[in-house]
Chain A
Amino acid sequence: NAGVTQTPKFQVLKTGQSMTLQCAQDMNHEYMSWYRQDPGMGLRLIHYSVGAGITDQGEVPNGYNVSRSTTEDFPLRLLSAAPSQTSVYFCASSYDRNNYGYTFGSGTRLTVV
């Protein structure tokens, strides 16, 4: 099992560019989520999904879009990158919302210049 795979691991963007952070899991997990981690802070929830075709906003959704067309994939789209979106992004998945087995990806370090 690969677990939760995030690509790319590192990315530098110019202000105004768009890009997609990829997240894929092979554990047949229904629940997937995206977090960002800024220096000195814990992880903050951006968007989450409780199943294919269902997404919802978390604490800091502005500037990000998500979709969940398959159980396996949950991409995060930055529509027009801003320096404030410089952060480390983590994807996590779980079998269902009550399951305590959250598996995290290894993270994507994004810098917007």
Chain B
Amino acid sequence: AQKITQTQPGMFVQEKEAVTLDCTYDTSDPSYGLFWYKQPSSGEMIFLIYQGSYDQQNATEGRYSLNFQKARKSANLVISASQLGDSAMYFCAMREGRGQLTFGSGTQLTVLP
């Protein structure tokens, strides 16, 4: 069974609009962490945002927010006011156990001018 599922292989958004990238996860570990990473065409992995399983509030980092719905096991990334530089591949990942990260297959986001 997939531990991290990203159901949107590709997404388009108009510049300055908001976009939500979906992520669902599966774990029986009560302590886990959820991450979003951005991978531009240059290939590096850029950390965006983190949500711990015991965190009561949704994480926010500038234009990025994480919509954490624990009962539904979802951790969607919301990017507000999209910019052309946001065009990239976005990965959802989960940390559990001894610290291993499990990644989803990614969503390719394209921001249109």
Contacts and interface: CB of A to CB of B under 8 A. Distances in A.
Interface centre among B31, B45, B106 (most CB of A within 10 A): B45
Contact of A56 (B31, B98, B104): B98
**Most chain B beta-carbon neighbours within 10 Å: one of A35, A42, A45, A106:** A42
B103 A48 contact: no
Interface of B: 4, 31, 33, 35, 43-45, 47, 50, 52, 91, 93, 95, 97-106
Interface of A: 31, 33, 35, 40-45, 48, 50, 56, 58-59, 88, 90, 92, 94, 96-98, 100-102, 104, 106-107
Given A42-B93, A56-B98, 16 more contacts: A35-B101, A35-B103, A40-B105, A42-B104, A43-B101, A45-B101, A48-B99, A94-B99, A96-B99, A97-B98, A98-B99, A101-B47, A102-B101, A104-B44, A106-B43, A107-B44
